[in-house]
Chain A
Amino acid sequence: MIKLSHIHKIFTQGNTEVVALSDISLHVKDGEFTVLKGASGSGKSTVLSLIAGLSRPSSGEVLVEGKAISKLPDNFSALFRRENIGFIFQKYNLIPTLSVRDNIILPLIPQNPSEEVLTHSVNHVMEKFSIAHKADMLVKNLSGGEQQRVAIARALINKPKIILADEPTANLDAKLSNELIAILKQLKEENTTIIVATHDPLFFDLDFVDAQVEMKNGKIV
């Protein structure tokens, strides 16, 4: 369960204040698939980042799985993220000088899994997103679409209960986009909670979407 109540998020840059979110309240039940849409700059990424505990709201409360993630001490929110959340970043946030494989295993490293478990998990997700053949290539040498698939694979390697996807199809062609949607559908069937921020119309009339939330200038409309 994800619950945002009366969230405000204000960025200060020097003297200017940017109000990214104002009075956002949102409720997503376990296993629901939510599409977050809205124009560029409307605050979609900011919402996802608050849910993942990557930043803290200026006011209001974020509850994820019953925990006030915005109030957890840093180390706990990291642990929580590692165990529950898979985040597909809009800008991928991969480490360009690491190989595909090494990028994907990043979330597993702190858990110190056995070599066996590690290899199995990484091979599994790499095959699922058709990048196994580039496993040892450096990420900086990949195309945009390939990088996106690496980012998706990394987000899913921990088998998270919650998936937050920020423009996951921005760099994928129609075929790969449909493949991703099929995978998301399957994950939903496995009872994963999914929030996708996107302006890709492909997501707008999917039959398994539970809710569509539209944002405008930091507000839900």
Chain B
Amino acid sequence: MKKINISILSYGIKRLLKKDFNITLVLIFQCVLSFFLLAITFNNTYAAITTNGEFKEFIGDKLYYTVQDLADEDGGFDQYMDSNAKFEDLKDFVESLEQNEQFSYVNTMLQSLYIIDTALPAKFAEGYEQGENALSIIREEDGKKLLSFKGLQVSYNVFEEFGKELETGEYFSKDDFIYDETKPIQVILGNEYKAFYNLGDIIAANDSRYDINIQVKGFLPKDSYMPVKGSIVYLDRYIVYPYYSGYSNMGDDKHLRIARFTLAGRANGEIITSDSHLNVQNLIDALSEQYNTFKFKVYSIDSSGINAISQMSEKMANQFLMLALALMFFTVFGISATVVGRIRTQSYEYGVNLISGATLSDIVVQAVGAISCLVLIALAISEFATLIVIGSFGVYLLLTPLLAIITIVISSLIPISSILKMDVNTLIRRKE
């Protein structure tokens, strides 16, 4: 077996690509354009497709309910605030909700946080999207400037329930949900915060009652979102922090009161299930009876926004696929047609090559080489362009090489068969 003859290969490739060089350039451009567009589209939908996968599986066609206590109706709340026993009862009730197998029970609450003396841009501030002059919401305390930033409190099981993952860092541990004055509060920041903080940074903040320190434990991927009481909140500009489930210093009266308040809040969470309203209400009634705590009313909430999001990711994925197929088709078609055309017009020349010692497989190698060259040049340009436009490394960089290989293989099929069909001995007899 003769090894591939590089000089003849490069000669053959040049002969194929140099003829009508402008058309070759157009093909390269077309190829670059489809790779580039695909990489960009893919990059934009990839996050949604992957992170939505689990989310969608969980959400499915489920229904959303909120649970609200009726404690105020009979003065039950004041009794609760004064009684250790009732506190323990409610705690058991909440835990039974969280551990329930028949539905998912989560707490999510939009709750802004103050950051002290910060130069963060206004986009992170509370009310920014509503067009308020957000940075003007300032409290001055002891010469410190407090600015209010968008925050979301979540219970421990929320990320798991919604299939959310982090880009970097770690998710909250169970301990992070036990409030301890001596430690900074762990927070997970939205993706846009990456430009301003690093993992482990400690930031002086205020939870609207006390000065606290918050510490960056992780960053969310770009375009992360979370269902919050039946609608979708995009988290790129949010601080996500624990919805406390306990306090380390329960002997202290102040903390005890806060703990009781917080627990009452946690009892007013969200239920996600396929069960009917009536069934859920009956279930909650049974549980509140069992744990001897307040009565609760279950409200059904409109979750069409959430379902729309999960359908959207599917739609985007489909559109991506359609676009990919269409672009690939035109590129492959363009390359195939051009190369076949050139092989036809060059058939006499190939006859000359054959009498000079070429085999048909040499010519096949030259044609595939020419196609590979063209596609690989396009690949290099598009990878470079995508990297510049997107600005960070990502899975999309692996997609285009894959597409390039597929493009090479498919575009080579027809040219190869047209070469193998060439009638060797008639080629050189033909008049040019």
Do these two chains interact?
A: no
Q: Which residues of B contact A (CB under 8 A)?
A: none
